[in-house]
A and B are shown apart, each in its own frame.
Chain A
Amino acid sequence: SAVISQKPSRDICQRGTSLTIQCQVDSQVTMMFWYRQQPGQSLTLIATANQGSEATYESGFVIDKFPISRPNLTFSTLTVSNMSPEDSSIYLCSVQQGRQETQYFGPGTRLLVL
């Protein structure tokens, strides 16, 4: 299994600002994903982070709000831009070595926007 770390683990931010979340994996992986878990709800996929190209966003999520980078096979960042209190959530990255294989999740970043 992959060991995944996320930074920061939590943050409190003011509305209108932006926060970049980092996801680091201890081995090269084929696929990386970003999910959001709003308070009291389950996980929703934001986007697939593609190495060397633009991320693939799910319906309801746009690049201007959630820009994503993936410069190599072990690292990705998610930025939450122009934050509002509605962005208060847990943001999790996950990795998968190949299609139909186990997805492993990072510990999450807990974001509170005031």
Chain B
Amino acid sequence: KQEVTQIPAALSVPEGENLVLNCSFTDSAIYNLQWFRQDPGKGLTSLLLIQSSQREQTSGRLNASLDKSSGRSTLYIAASQPGDSATYLCAFETSGSRLTFGEGTQLTVNP
């Protein structure tokens, strides 16, 4: 059974700092990895999708990497802003399009 761990559980940083969120998984038989953000009381917003054959994806200030051999993914946020404050979730797609989610990292960016 796929298990997904996200570290740290919570992170507080000053505005402008670069930061890295970590996600690890136990089963390398994945199809892809998605990173989402969830704002309080809201649904999920898809940030990046990395196919299993890819190693990274970039969108604006966000860069996500995938290393299947080590069972790890990272989300890099450059020049963080208060608007980046949210919970960040990683999820792995396995057979049948099932997404297995991590517990999330709650990010606070202080002005």
Residues of A whose CB lies within 8 Å of any CB of B are 1, 31, 33, 35, 41-45, 48, 56, 58, 92, 94, 96, 99-108, 110
Contact = CB atoms under 8 A, between A and B. Distances in A.
Interface string B19-52: 0000000000001101010000111111001010
Given A100-B32, A103-B97, A41 B43 contact: no
A43 B97 contact: no
A56 B96 contact: yes
Interface string B78-111: 0000000000010101001111111110000000
A101 B99 CA distance: 11
Bin chain B's interface residue count: 20 to 34
A42 B104 contact: yes
Interface of B: 31-32, 34, 36, 41-46, 49, 51, 89, 91, 93, 96-104
Contacts of A92: 43-44
A33 B97 contact: yes
Contacts of A102: 34, 46, 49
26 contacts: A33-B97, A42-B103, A43-B89, A43-B91, A43-B99, A45-B98, A48-B97, A56-B96, A94-B44, A96-B97, A100-B31, A100-B97, A101-B49, A102-B46, A103-B46, A103-B91, A103-B99, A104-B46, A105-B36, A105-B43, A105-B44, A105-B45, A105-B46, A107-B43, A108-B43, A110-B41
